[in-house]
Amino acid sequence: MSRLMKSAHVWGRRSWFLPLPHQQQVRTLTVSAEPSPRVLQLYDGLVNGQRAALAKAITLVESTHPKHKHEAQDLLALVLSSAKRPSTVKKTMMACANEKFPTTFRIGLSGSPGVGKSSFIEAFGLHLISKGHRVAVLAVDPSSSKTGGSILGDKTRMPDLSRHSDAFIRPSPSSCTLGGVARNTNEAILLCESAGYDIVLVETVGVGQSETMVADMVDMFTLLVAPGGGDELQGMKKGIVELSNLILVNKSDGDLLPAARQAQMEYTSALKFMPPEYGWHPPVLPVSSHKGTGIDKAWDSMKQFYCLLANGGRLSEIRGRQQLKWMWKHVTEELVEMVKRDKKVMKLVEDLQGCVYDGGIPSGIAAEKILDEFMSQRSTSSSRSSLS
């Protein structure tokens, strides 16, 4: 409770952290309004590691209700005010010895449907817990483009991990968001870190080569492939493969072992044509979620990559640029919502939609007319406010 009272006491001078990589001093946005009791209660539960509070906090962040949006912003501001930032951690602390990380480690996991992502996460998560870590899993389920519903059945494929007290699994609908992640996954990561989870795994929906948005919210992007999934040309495809920092050939056991070795060689050969990033050559390793083999080597490789980023001072730069990308993404989404809430603009939209549908006007010109009307309405509203 002391941390809660302290945060409430300094609320007037707490700040929203927006890292800018090219500057030494952190710019901040001061928020003067005092948070609601509900927000303070959620924050108190988060810092005390309560899984129920974390689940409620993520639900609040995912809500589209205007009141909930304001409360979510207040909660995130509290979380960021006490977050451990990579830029404040000395390089001498980045030894990663004894499984101790100075900051959380965010890992993205992607792969085609059926490659065994959930099975790998359960085996990998249990391995991390045995090393003394607390693991949060943010699993994104695809939403129906027709009904908007999602199955949200990832927990059923991770029965042992979901029951562990040091694990938290949260399935979320993608809500038809492109890129394989949910709209608020980035904020959910911050909440998990505030609740004391030092390893955050983000599992994408598994749609294929376009699943790249997760790379803009994690420290390391891991791609899972299956034996016999394609030849060397397939491995050279741009998109998700070139963003990968680690490629794991899952199901490397039993009758699939020869095919897994062949896939490992093909992907290793294909990656030679891609220039290394940060001096890191993405390794291709065989793993078996069923037998648990290769999990330890995969984790060792992930630790090496984290230390490379942290010791080189690149971790804060990467996270800062990621936050800027998500800021502009939210700006775009919020502008679209503002247009939809304007009744006069939507009346014009209804008229233009018929013309676009019949081919009477190009979609680009229709979009310009909608934006012009929106800006005109905003200008008129501002003029009236200044006169009053």
CA nearest 225: which of 254, 247, 207, 242? 247
CA nearest 175: which of 200, 201, 154, 147? 147
Interval 248-294: pLDDT, tens: 999 999 999 999 999 899 888 888 888 888 889 999 999 999 999 99
Low-confidence winner among 73-82, 116-125, 210-219 (lowest mean pLDDT): 210-219
Q: Is 30:14 a contact under the CB 8 Å cutoff?
A: yes
Q: What is the mean pLDDT of residues 189-214?
A: 80
pLDDT score of 269 = 85
pLDDT score of 261 = 93
Q: What is the mean pLDDT of residues 222-229?
A: 85
pLDDT score of 24 = 41
Alpha-carbon distance 209 to 200, whole Å? Answer: 23
Q: Can you give the pTM of this predicted structure?
A: 0.80
Which token pair is 225? Answer: 């492939």
Strand segments (E) across the chain? 15-17, 28-30, 105-111, 135-141, 167-173, 199-203, 220-225, 246-249, 284-286
Interval 70-119: pLDDT, tens: 898 889 889 888 776 665 455 434 456 567 788 899 999 988 888 888 89
pLDDT mean across residues, the chain: 79
**What is the pLDDT confidence band of residue 14, given thresholds at 50, 70 and 90?**
very low
Structure-token match 């004894």, residue found? 98
SS3 content of the chain, % helix, strand, coil (to 5): 55, 15, 35
pLDDT score of 92 = 38
CA nearest 181: which of 66, 325, 17? 325
